[in-house]
Chains A and B, each alone.
Chain A
Amino acid sequence: MEQELTKEELKAYKKAKEQLTDARKESFGKWLRTKGWKHLIGWVMIVYSVFPIVYVISGSFADADQFTSTLFTSFTTDNYRDLFADEYRPFGAWFVNTLFISGTAAIGSVFLSALAAYAFSRLRFTGRRAGLLTLILVQMFPQLLALVAIYALLVNIGNVFPFLGIGSQLALIMVYLGGALGANTYLMYGFFNTIPKELDEAAKIDGATHTQIFYGIILRLAAPILAVIGLLAFIGTSSDFVLANIILTKPESKTLAVGLYMYVSDQFGQRWTIFAAGAVLAAVPIVALFLYLQKYIVSGLTGGAVKG
């Protein structure tokens, strides 16, 4: 096209083009000031949070002596093989234990806190206000504070009911359920209050009982908060170290968090690369659960599910 232009036209065209790039340069400065800095911060944050993950993945494929060197300098799958080969450190069993304990605790705490939140939100009874206040107060103290008490309690319970004593996974689940109830109930209580009471009443007029209202209406509409609480409970329990460490005593009943720690706590043979491989695998169920629950969380937020 440029061939058909006369010289003067060509000159004018070039000049216009230069001006345009000038304007672009100028507006880049403006873009940086108005929007660009946000992108910048965003990218810094992304790198900041992705780096450890990349580092762990790199480490999990590194030779044992190359762990601290630069990323992806060596590649081997030995770490993953060794992870499952060690019979004193049964990774497979830990994995299953973690899924079982965290899964049960997550489902249990979602269910229990939903029950409690329904009562606080929909029923009027004496002690309701006091109960709510107690919930806030109790959940302000970290469970760690109760460590000694929990230990002593479990030892004594174990004398009578061995299946609920120290060393039992069921005992650990029970402790998790109790600990998470306060905060979760409060979160869910707030959410239930946003579901219009008229929905309950419309159902009640048609003869629905509290049980039917709870399962048929409230739980269905509260799906987003159930998903969030289930996810948080799963992540929280599967990364818990302190309680799991004192309650689970036998190697084959340990969880991933406790078990994997054995690889790096060994004074003479810290096996960081194997630990990294274990950590990568341990993250898989959490990521999978998140991806699975995501649609409930998102659809709940966008679907206007709680609009009366």
Chain B
Amino acid sequence: MATDFVARGQDLELVEVRKEFPGFVAVESLDLKIPAGEFFALLGPSGCGKTTTLRMIAGLETPTSGKVLIGGKDVTDQKPHERPVNTVFQNYALFPHMTVLENVAFGLRQRKVDDPLPKATAALEMVELNHLASRRPQQLSGGQQQRVALARALVNRPALLLLDEPLGALDLKLRRQMQLELKDIQSEVGLTFLHVTHDQEEAMDMADTVAVMNHGRIEQMGAPEKLYDRPKTAFVAKFLGQSNLFVGEVTDKSSETISINFRGNKITAPNSRIEKSSGKVAIGVRPEKTEFHESKPAASSTQNVLGPGKITDIRFTGVSNQYQIEIPEIGEITVFAQNVGRSPVVELGAEVWVSWKVEHSFGLADLPTGEEDIE
């Protein structure tokens, strides 16, 4: 149904795009390629340049240098309305003095499309809001306004839809519901979606590809599972979920693994999962891949073992508990354990050893800033 009035998705390419504001570089030499029809998430902390990137793609900001290509065509010098792009703003930006229907029809009227009202009604139907067509935006709930904004953007048949934290103002439950709806609409219309967010769960949940951005550059890009399983920089390791990181000089190298000396403890990672194999190397592991033991586990070449240490904090998070384990000379380690049996599995202050399989270690390309030990 929706495909009647929406164009097909097109791919987006950014070539060395850079944006400087007076005395400040907001985006540094960005290279990016998003295939047609993909749901792409741009994830990053506040102020890292996500909105600026979107605005350059939309044509609301001119890049200092570099090119923006949509469907293989250079649009860098085109005006916003000449590009096959539309935007859903974070605060929706619905026109308060127009009805919902007029809001959706606005772009059609601007483009002098025939039958603007029936087409706008069809777009409202797609977001299941046609019964509210005659209301004013301020008479709608946040989620409804969000859907109107989506309809207003989609009705213009963009090939690429930019969404700047469209769910940022919604509460958690509505957010989850809107995430599903957005995803449904995207697969229904087959458009290319570029979704900006700083909610890592949202990004991993919805996107085909996630790019993690920091300080105006993309740190790492890939499928959500891959990014989570194999972060390549300390920033990604910490921003996307949690990580225990250990930094030390490389001591052993074999054909399969490398080991570092972390304050007298040997920590090993497989060669297939490291970025760097000489000098100081940071090796990490996800908290849910680690486990603790109340007696010292036998040493083995397939396990990394640290301990003994004391449990200093237990945080109940629902399906699992988060345990902080303080190991003398080493520092704090975070461990997640499922609450399948007893909760908590061990008591506060208990003495435990921490272990994880070597194959779950990952090596980073850089070192955590200002950190020599565990995060």
Contacts and interface: CB of A to CB of B under 8 A. Distances in A.
A307 B107 contact: no
Interface stretch (B34-42, B92-100, B323-331): B92-100
B106 interface: yes
Nearest to A199: B93
A198 interface: yes
Interface stretch (B83-91, B121-129, B241-249): B83-91
A207 B106 CA distance: 10
Given A208-B110, A305-B96, A307-B138, A202 B81 contact: no
Given A206-B106, A206-B110, A304-B138, A199 B95 contact: yes
Interface in A257-308: 303-308
Contact of A307 (B59, B60, B90, B96): B96
A217 B95 contact: yes
A207 B91 contact: no
Nearest to B156: A206
Contacts of A188: none
Nearest to A212: B110
A205 interface: yes
Contact of B89 (A198, A212, A307): A198
A206 B60 CA distance: 12
Nearest to B112: A207
Contacts of B87: 201-202, 205
A203 interface: yes
B227 interface: no
A203 B89 contact: no
A206 B107 contact: yes
Contacts of A205: 58-60, 80-81, 85-87, 107
A308 B81 contact: no
A11 interface: no
A221 B94 CA distance: 12
B111 interface: yes
Interface in B127-177: 138, 152, 156
A304 B137 CA distance: 10
B110 A306 contact: no
B95 A204 contact: no
Given A304-B138, A307-B138, A207 B95 contact: no
A25 interface: no
Contacts of A207: 81, 107, 110-111
A113 B92 CA distance: 29
Interface string A159-190: 00000000000000000000000000000000
Contacts of A201: 58, 60, 80, 87, 89, 93
A308 B169 CA distance: 12
Contacts of A92: none
Contact of A202 (B89, B97, B111, B138): B89
Interface in B280-337: none
A304 to B, nearest CB: 5
A196 B97 contact: no
A128 interface: no
Nearest to B155: A206
Contacts of B95: 199, 202-203, 217
Contacts of B59: 205
Nearest to B83: A205
A221 to B, nearest CB: 6
A24 interface: no
Given A205-B81, A207-B111, A308 B97 contact: no
A225 B247 CA distance: 62
A304 B94 CA distance: 13
Nearest to B96: A305
Contacts of B152: 202
A307 B58 CA distance: 23
A30 interface: no
Contacts of B97: 217, 220-221, 305
Nearest to A207: B81
Contacts of A208: 81, 110
Contacts of B81: 204-208
Nearest to A217: B95
Nearest to B85: A205
Contact of B91 (A198, A217, A221, A304): A198
Contacts of A220: 97
Nearest to A198: B93
A196 B95 CA distance: 10
Nearest to A306: B96
B160 to A, nearest CB: 12
B60 A204 contact: yes
Contacts of A308: 91-94, 96
Contacts of A206: 81, 106-107, 110-111, 156
Contact of A203 (B90, B96, B106): B106
A304 B96 contact: yes
A222 to B, nearest CB: 10
A196 B110 contact: no
14 contacts: A198-B89, A202-B89, A202-B152, A204-B80, A205-B59, A205-B87, A206-B110, A207-B111, A212-B110, A303-B96, A307-B96, A307-B138, A308-B93, A308-B96
4 closest Cβ pairs, A-B complex: A207-B81, A206-B107, A198-B93, A202-B93
Given A206-B110, A208-B81, A221-B96, 12 more contacts: A196-B93, A198-B93, A201-B60, A201-B80, A203-B95, A204-B80, A205-B81, A205-B85, A205-B87, A206-B81, A217-B97, A306-B96
